[in-house]
Structure 1
Amino acid sequence: MTDLFERPTVQGDQQPARSSRSAERARRAAKKRKARRRRRAAIVVLVSLLVVGGAGYVISQNVTSLFGFDNPLEAKDFEGPGTDPVDVVIEPGSTGRDMGAALVDAGVVASTAAFVEAFEANPSAGTIQPGTHTLLKGMSAEYAVARLVANDSRVETKITIPEGWTVERVLAQTSSVTGIPVEELQAAMADTAATGLPAEANGNYEGWLYPTTYVLEPDETTALGVIQRMVSQTVLELDGLGVPAADRQTVLTKASLIEREAKHDEDRPKMARVIENRLAVGERLGIDAAVAYGAGKSGEDLTRDDLADTSNPYNLRALTGLPPGPIASPGKASVEAVLNPEPGDWMFWVTVNLDTGETIFTETYAEHQVYEQQLKQWLEENAG
């Protein structure tokens, strides 16, 4: 029997239909395997990024159960206000993380992460002051931040030195505040290289212990540390005003005379001018505050003999020129007056009212005598 239709002839390298379908299935399978490998690689990278970047919270929270060790990302925290006191130093410029690390090292908080969380949750955390703070071991991070913000944990010593005080009074005040014996302070002052006293002071600290309020950290509250701080503050102030090193002692000496005489800031530049005018013509300065300093007395206790005593190198009633050095610690206003005397021809001043501090400046001795009489009258009316 004959076929009605002839089968087409297979040309050249053509494959049968069954073979073509098998090859296609193989290609599809290979493509799927390649896609699965790409997806697995992407998942591995994604998980790594999530854990490293901190976003893989669920994964990180289960690290302990999965692998059997402590999770470094977990914000461990203590409970309660703490137990034993411990000092911790917060360095200037510390971030919340820096503070947390210091507190962890001291045993105050359980983890840096917990402290950072509490730090960021407290709107006043940015006011935390550097310095040494006494905290408690085993505090919750919230308690620790609150204590630091309150600043009642800071360990510090405050010493206030008023303008016009002598070295003797400064040492007495320092001793009473810090508990350091005066003898220890004096012993520290013997080493001028260690305290930083400039050579132009000739070993004399008078005038070089700057009057201000000092806030001292525990490591500064030593005899040497306190004296170093006061001397360095004087140098810092003089440098800030542009005083050359060679002129420091002279400037401090003049300023100390003004400091002990002036009652009002507006009088200081005028006094500076009187000093310059009298020095220029070789006239004795006649400043009783210097006489009293050299005699070891108060100005009210000076006698005629004291005023005539030429053995007193500070007797500006009897000797010409400046005294050997400062007679007290001058403040900034007095130093600025020396650097910028007010223009004028004054040669004298006298305080005519000791209650108000009213001071009169004159050019001639005759005028000066008039106001001296006014002072005498005031003294008579206010005797006792």
Structure 2
Amino acid sequence: MTGEKKRKICIAAALMAVIAAIVILAFLCWTQLPVFDRGKPVPFEIAPGGTARTVANQLNGQNVPISDTLFVLLVRLSGNSSGLRAGPYELKAGETPARLLEKITKGIFAMESLTIIEGWKFHQMRQAIAKHPGLNHETADLSERELLKRLGLSHHAGEGLFFPDTYLFKKGTPDILIYRLAHDAMMARLNAYWDDRDPGLPYKNPYEALIMASIVEKETAHPADRDMISGVFVNRLKADMKLQTDPTVIYGMGKKYRGKIRRIDLRTDTPYNTYTRYGLPPTPIALPGREALEAAFYPAETDALYFVARGDGTSHFSRTLDEHNKAVDKYIR
């Protein structure tokens, strides 16, 4: 082989090496560039048993703007051809092919969310769950008693048994899982507070404390007043006084309530009318949140036996009936 021929071979080899380096560098750059820069997230779903090629086809068929050839190459070079996980995903603006592959191999699914609001009644929680499009609805047609039985609960009513919070879940999750998560969250908090409680509290069991928390939840939207209101109710229970709290009356009225309590409503006896009956009502009247639970278990140390709303969201507290009547004259009458 002549020197000239050797020189040409070396040049060709060098050019091929440069081209290969450029291709590799370009490919590596591609893996770190956004698939798209702006716009709404693109939802997509990977079917079970997908290969690199079939997953690439699924991406293209669901409007994920990525090169199928380069994506297949990325999967094969990563060694994850057999680790592509089926499920619902979404690709957000600014995310790269490398991030896309990471989601699919690690099962970083697109998450749905459902927020249960403090103070909701149980039927409002059920309505929110039944309307959520991301859930697989298995309980919508069940009665309340049937639902509780499905959850393994012996309670006759679901009121108050579920913790208000925001719950994340994979699309297609059975709706009963939300009930289980919310109930487990409530029981974990309730039992922890019960174990740490003051033994002087007038509750026979954790469920009675939950009832108190629900009343506190509905009595005020002003966080600073919750422990004082709880303190008043605790004092009244200890003194064998009626609680005389409007939210329980409203709950007992059900659909008869039209936005205003009349004198006849306060005198009409129901299991929830704390103007006609002593002690706590038979069940909670709402879903209490963390602050209401804490107020029920850690009430303020106070001599107050009465309170009245000032009209600005706060309450005026009184030790005597005479003082209370004066406050009612000032803020209500």
* TM class, shorter-length: 0.5 to 0.7
Distance 1:274 1:214, change over 3 A: same
- Tell me the equivalent position of 1:87: 46
Partners of 1:189 and 1:224 within 8 A in 2: no
Distance 1:368 1:132, change over 3 A: farther
- Give the deviation of 1:316 after TM superposition: 0.4
What 5-or-longer segments of structure 1 have no aligned partner?
A: 1-74, 90-100, 118-129, 378-384
- Tell me the equivalent position of 1:216: 169
- Give the deviation of 1:337 after TM superposition: 0.8
Distance 1:188 1:325, change over 3 A: closer
Secondary structure of the structure 2 residue equivalent to 1:164: coil
Distance 1:248 1:148, change over 3 A: farther
Secondary structure of the structure 2 residue equivalent to 1:190: helix
- Tell me the equivalent position of 1:294: 252
What 5-or-longer segments of structure 2 have no aligned partner?
A: 1-27, 36-42, 57-70, 197-203
- Give the deviation of 1:206 after TM superposition: 0.1
Opposite residue 302 of structure 1, the aligned amino acid is: I
- Tell me the equivalent position of 2:227: 269
Q: Distance in 1 between matches of 2:144 and 2:332?
A: 46
- Give the deviation of 1:148 after TM superposition: 5.7
Offset from partner CA, 1:180-233 (integer Å, 9 cap, x none):
779726348615354243x4xx2311001211111122353x232222222122
- Give the deviation of 1:304 after TM superposition: 1.7
Distance 1:116 1:258, change over 3 A: farther
Q: Distance in 2 between matches of 1:237 and 1:102?
A: 42
Note if 1:176 corresponds to 2:134: no
Note if 1:145 corresponds to 2:99: yes
Distance 1:211 1:369, change over 3 A: same
Q: Distance in 1 between matches of 2:79 and 2:96?
A: 10
Report matched runs for 1:23-42 at 5 Å. none
Note if 1:370 corresponds to 2:329: no
- Give the deviation of 1:177 after TM superposition: 2.2
Report matched runs for 1:243-322 at 5 Å. 243=195, 247-296=205-254, 297-298=256-257, 300-310=259-269, 312-322=270-280
- Tell me the equivalent position of 2:188: 236
Q: Distance in 2 between matches of 1:247 and 1:236?
A: 15
Normalising by structure 2, we get a TM-score of 0.67
Greater RCO between the two (CA within 8 Å, min separation 6)? 2
Secondary structure of the structure 1 residue equivalent to 2:142: helix
Offset from partner CA, 1:298-337 (integer Å, 9 cap, x none):
5842222211112x10000111100001000000101111
Task: Provide the aligned C-alpha RMSD in A.
Answer: 3.9
Q: Distance in 2 between matches of 1:106 and 1:290?
A: 59
Opposite residue 280 of structure 2, the aligned amino acid is: L
- Tell me the equivalent position of 1:326: 284
| Aligned sequence identity (%) | 23
Say which of 151, 160, 163 aligns to 1:207. 160
Opposite residue 114 of structure 1, the aligned amino acid is: L
Partners of 1:351 and 1:375 within 8 A in 2: yes
Partners of 1:164 and 1:260 within 8 A in 2: yes
**Between Structure 1 and Structure 2, how many residues are aligned?**
262
Q: Distance in 2 between matches of 1:228 and 1:338?
A: 24
Q: Distance in 2 between matches of 1:274 and 1:131?
A: 55
Say which of 147, 160, 163 aligns to 2:118. 163
Secondary structure of the structure 2 residue equivalent to 1:251: helix
Report matched runs for 1:96-135 at 5 Å. 107=55, 110=72, 114-115=77-78, 132-134=87-89
- Give the deviation of 1:158 after TM superposition: 1.2
Partners of 2:226 and 2:292 within 8 A in 1: yes
Q: Distance in 2 between matches of 1:115 and 1:337?
A: 54
Secondary structure of the structure 1 residue equivalent to 2:282: coil
Normalising by structure 1, we get a TM-score of 0.59
Q: Distance in 2 between matches of 1:131 and 1:347?
A: 60
Q: Distance in 1 between matches of 2:257 and 2:215?
A: 14
Distance 1:219 1:194, change over 3 A: farther
Note if 1:186 corresponds to 2:109: no
Report matched runs for 1:52-67 at 5 Å. none
Opposite residue 238 of structure 1, the aligned amino acid is: L
Offset from partner CA, 1:139-163 (integer Å, 9 cap, x none):
xx951524767xxx84322111111
Q: Distance in 1 between matches of 2:51 and 2:90?
A: 9
**Which of 1 and 2 has greater Rg?**
1
Q: Distance in 1 between matches of 2:126 and 2:52?
A: 40
Distance 1:243 1:328, change over 3 A: farther
- Give the deviation of 1:135 after TM superposition: 6.5
- Give the deviation of 1:373 after TM superposition: 1.2
